A and B are shown apart, each in its own frame.
Chain A
């Protein structure tokens, strides 16, 4: 088991490296230029742009930029120690190679995601600032998806072909099809503006003090959770319906029924337990879906999370932030899948790790 986990973690290293190369190449070769976007203003001269570009290292070939991003070490022709040397950037000139080596202490191999072009903040700091908001929303959406999706799926399997089953299946299709940006605005309008029951967005009621108020936080969480959980409920209820149908056709369920075990006990104790096992396998992808779905939901509900930040960083071509977020999400996905596999072994002793 421990060996299995260690092996999987070691396998994650080449995966992450691969992700880093592919995303780096994709991001750097996408059209658009972070400097132009930042300086799309006739008052800013080309000279200024070139200085900014050089200072940020964006004038270098992408392979050198990639090495710099990976290791924090950049190389440049000639002796430019005076130009690039800073308190936090040590440069030295190798006369034999006519090359200046600079080390800015960053580099993802050292666990440093670099500095945002747009805000000049460390990328890791930007992510950490927004993590609580995203996790709060994701965990709450995931919990609601499971708590609602699982019973719905089981009940609709048990009452297969009933009106209830039909409604749940329709709901599942609608849930997958409804664009969340539209549905979100409808809920905001209805519950926020017309009825005035719930806040229309944000994570808290803003005030000059921004004090913590649990009830206020929960009220702000309700609408975005519903929207974000909607897709999850749809997916999980369909999955559970199929799995439950499979399980209740097995011999041991028939046996239990024949012995006279009450129906509810059969469904929810005997059948549910076994139907839940495969659910572990889609938990990883579901977590990933909730995290990516958060990009849109965070925007509509003014939720200050990582998804929204990543999206706006992509629009601004803030390469370090986008790449940092991609690496972080990749790591989460790998860990999520690993967790999924481990849990599978825990709940189903037949699976040997």
Chain B
């Protein structure tokens, strides 16, 4: 059971906001080279991870926050494993192999024999079926209902064989099968106790490397070695999840040894690097930061499609629907300075929506927009945005989209409390204003921002995606069917029939071979790059600081703990 924690996380959070920094993704440089483990593993020791937020519920189908998965990830088996270094789906968890029917619709999974819950019951196909049936049940309030989309049936062929039948070929369909399995023998058959079971707070059994011990809310959660773990019991006695909300306090506790692992903020890097007792794990996170440009009029948000799936013509944004304005913005930003000074070097410029980490789909030939204020100003001049009254702000004098005389005034928002984004906002405001924009920047509370964002009532927003996973399918950001005010994630109201078509084709290629899907994604990247619904600011880089207390740590970008059972206390 290699990469247990992150495999579940990655499958679930295919894209949650950059807000919660969950350790994940593709190495820039492997920094930590450990002393080779001595012959005999040393028993004992405890690893303490620091977290800003506490878990909320320890049930894999009810939880929706990364902190909960950090803890419950130790207990519940899952169907598919994930390579800790490449992120590829691998048969390292319950499924030891699988076959696919010729039409690509029927997947048959063969399970590991002899995997036991810690109370002695065997983990079987029934647990898998119970879990997915529970999600379907009306008695269960879960945010995971969409995991069942496109699944026609789940059949238990025998205790160790599961057959999943899909309605249509969808190349990223396996991502929906990553949820942790509930121990079906401890729940009522009709799912009536799933919501209120005491197991949601004290999971009694585990099939992972640790078993639940204790959870003091907002303080700490502790787990103990599972002596019967099927990959071999860990050497360490246990693992503690300690809640330390303040980032400065977390760093202090890492320095004093009260914590063994924290996510390191860019401004804290030097402290960790200079400390001889600490290691630093640096990796390309599977996310990026961007400035979303609303293509539609924020005063009149409309859905992208009508009920029959026909495109609905949008009321265009008076300024941002002008491609020239978007190009000017993309050229007016000094990306090197931003990455150096705002992200303190923890980032890299990207050209479009597929990250280099997804090597087969990424188009390396696409050049990111170059910083060139002269060119940006020229584009605005040519497009009829000129400063005719000499007040330093351009007005529409023959521009394509706005009324004559309208000034180039745009709101820019981000979530307050995220200092990196607040700094970026100030810098973007400064750089755009210097070429004749009038940017009104404000940082607002996250919950409020989410409302504006999904309500499509914003002009420009600084935000990010994280947990994008290894599949390049990101149709929820671009497809017109996800342009639904109040809920859809194509909140920039991007509308392009060709993109809709490409996104659909790319996930339904017969056979789903990478080389067959790649051309679609390359064309998508080209179009997104040229149309600029997002100004891509930087790809994310994550940093984890951790103690040298144990030998054998081998952090991968997709999982820090994938080989935790082999760690051995350093003498």
Contact = CB atoms under 8 A, between A and B. Distances in A.
Interface of A: 31-33, 36-49, 51-52, 55-56, 83, 86-88, 118-121, 126, 129-130, 181, 185, 188-189, 192-193, 196, 199-208, 210, 299-302, 304-305, 308-309, 312, 315-317
Interface string B221-257: 0101000000000000110101111101100110110
Contacts of A40: 16-17, 450
A32 B252 contact: no
B237 A193 contact: no
B216 A202 contact: no
B91 interface: no
Q: Is the interface of A mostly helix, strand, loop or mixed?
A: loop
B215 to A, nearest CB: 10
Contacts of B14: 41-43
Contacts of A302: 219, 242-246, 249
A261 B8 CA distance: 78
Nearest to A296: B246
B252 A42 contact: no
Interface of B: 12-17, 46, 48, 53, 56-57, 62, 64, 138-139, 141-147, 149, 192, 195-196, 200-201, 213-214, 216-220, 222, 224, 237-238, 240, 242-246, 248-249, 252-253, 255-256, 258, 445-448, 450-452, 454, 476-477, 482, 484, 486-489
B445 A32 contact: yes
Contacts of B141: 51-52, 55-56
A36 B218 contact: no
A130 B218 contact: yes
A205 B253 CA distance: 12
Contact of A189 (B56, B218, B252): B252
9 contacts: A33-B447, A38-B64, A42-B482, A48-B143, A52-B143, A120-B200, A202-B244, A210-B222, A309-B218
B149 A185 contact: no
Contacts of A38: 64, 143
Given A52-B143, A201-B249, A304 B244 contact: no
Nearest to B251: A193
Contacts of B62: 120
Contacts of B487: 36, 46, 49
B145 A315 contact: no
A200 B254 CA distance: 10
Given A31-B448, A208-B222, A309-B218, A36 B252 contact: no
A188 B454 contact: no
Contacts of B146: 43-45, 47-48
A200 B249 contact: yes
B143 A119 contact: no
A39 B147 CA distance: 14
B448 A41 contact: no
A87 B188 CA distance: 13
Q: Which of A42, A126, A301 has the largest number of chain B CB atoms within 10 A?
A: A42
A206 B240 contact: yes
Contacts of B249: 185, 188, 200-201, 300-302
B15 A41 contact: yes
B219 A299 contact: no
A309 B53 CA distance: 11
A130 B192 CA distance: 29
Q: Which 9 A-B pairs have the closest CB atoms?
A: A32-B447, A42-B476, A304-B218, A46-B487, A304-B219, A31-B448, A42-B489, A48-B145, A302-B244
B247 to A, nearest CB: 10
A45 B481 CA distance: 12
A83 B138 contact: yes
Nearest to B11: A43
Given A39-B143, A120-B200, 17 more contacts: A38-B143, A39-B64, A48-B143, A48-B144, A55-B141, A83-B138, A120-B195, A188-B248, A192-B256, A193-B256, A200-B249, A200-B253, A206-B242, A207-B240, A208-B213, A208-B240, A210-B220
Contact of B450 (A33, A55, A301): A33
B190 to A, nearest CB: 11
Contacts of B217: 126, 129-130, 304
B51 to A, nearest CB: 10
A192 B476 contact: no
Q: Which of A45, A199, A204, A317 has the largest number of chain B CB atoms within 10 A?
A: A45
Nearest to A208: B238
A25 to B, nearest CB: 17
B173 to A, nearest CB: 12
Nearest to A32: B447
Given A32-B448, A196-B256, A208 B237 contact: yes
A206 B246 contact: no
A305 B141 CA distance: 28
Contact of B255 (A37, A193, A207, A210): A193
A324 to B, nearest CB: 15
A55 B243 CA distance: 31
Nearest to A203: B219
Contacts of B46: 207-208
B256 A315 contact: no
A204 B222 CA distance: 14
A259 to B, nearest CB: 57
